[in-house]
Amino acid sequence: MGNEHPVNPKRLIVELCQQFYAQGWVSGTGGGISIRENGRVYLAPSGVQKERIAEQDLYVLDESGAVLEQPENAGLRPSACQPLFFNAYRLRNAGAVLHSHAMPAMLVTLLYAEAFECTQLEMIKGIEGHGYYDRLRVPIIENTAHECDLADSMAAAIEAYPDSHAVLVRRHGVYVWGRDWVQAKTHAECYHYLFDAAVQMAKLGIGSDASRKPIDVAAPQAIAALRASAAR
Ligand SMILES: [Zn+2]
């Protein structure tokens, strides 16, 4: 898995938050990542600048959610995402969970009703259990005023879509997990790519349903329409 060298989970969370911030996934203190390893859950505090988190800012919890280690700064509180992260740990035996407020993850929830769907895009193969010709589905749950109130509907969506490794939240973002942090990161990169592709395809009038033959039929039409509108 390319994961041969043991890595300190606290160090990893600090590094991944910096990467995810640069990708626009965790801006404005939103989003984050949690890692579960050897019966311990590592979690960032709530409402902090994710790209500036230090190792001493992180919480360590046991698998029941009890706090084992507090950050040095007593003014911090655990991430509001904690019950959502624990859904993926408990229901999917995940090793890491990521929450993103990326623009494509938010926008794609405005294009689909119950679930995001796509097929015949190469990056689908990066999602465990999926091939190029499979129909990838990601359930969409409705947003709530408080992040913790998403826990029950997220759990229901996880049960209803056993092939999905992610749950989208309408007008909000996405939760993505994997068996370890490597797979969670890979899944997150592939899902973000597919959400972005769907948004851009919709803008081009293509649609992400392969039955519409996006390359052969719809794309030239969309490009012709764009040229026509540009020429006006
Ligand atoms: Zn959020």
Q: Phi and psi at residue 150, in whole multiples of 5°?
A: -80, -10
Amino acid at 137: R
How many A from CA of 83 to the centre of ligand 1?
Answer: 12
What average pLDDT values come out for the chain (232 residues) when binned by 10 residues? 70 96 93 95 91 94 94 86 95 97 96 94 97 96 94 97 98 97 98 96 77 47 65 68
pLDDT (0 to 100) of residue 78: 85
Residue 188 to residue 76: CA distance in whole angstroms: 27
Among candidate residues 72, 122, 142, 159, the one labeled active-site is: 122
Residue 216 to residue 12: CA distance in whole angstroms: 43
Encode pLDDT of 93-107 as tens digits: 999 999 999 999 999
pLDDT (0 to 100) of residue 215: 43
pLDDT (0 to 100) of residue 218: 45
How many A from CA of 178 to the centre of ligand 1?
Answer: 18
Residue 59 to residue 126: CA distance in whole angstroms: 30
* Domains along the sequence of the chain with CATH: 9-204 (3.40.225.10)
Mean of pLDDT over the chain: 89
Residue 209 to residue 229: CA distance in whole angstroms: 25
How many A from CA of 100 to the centre of ligand 1?
Answer: 7
pLDDT (0 to 100) of residue 232: 65
The verdict on whether 122 is a catalytic residue reads yes
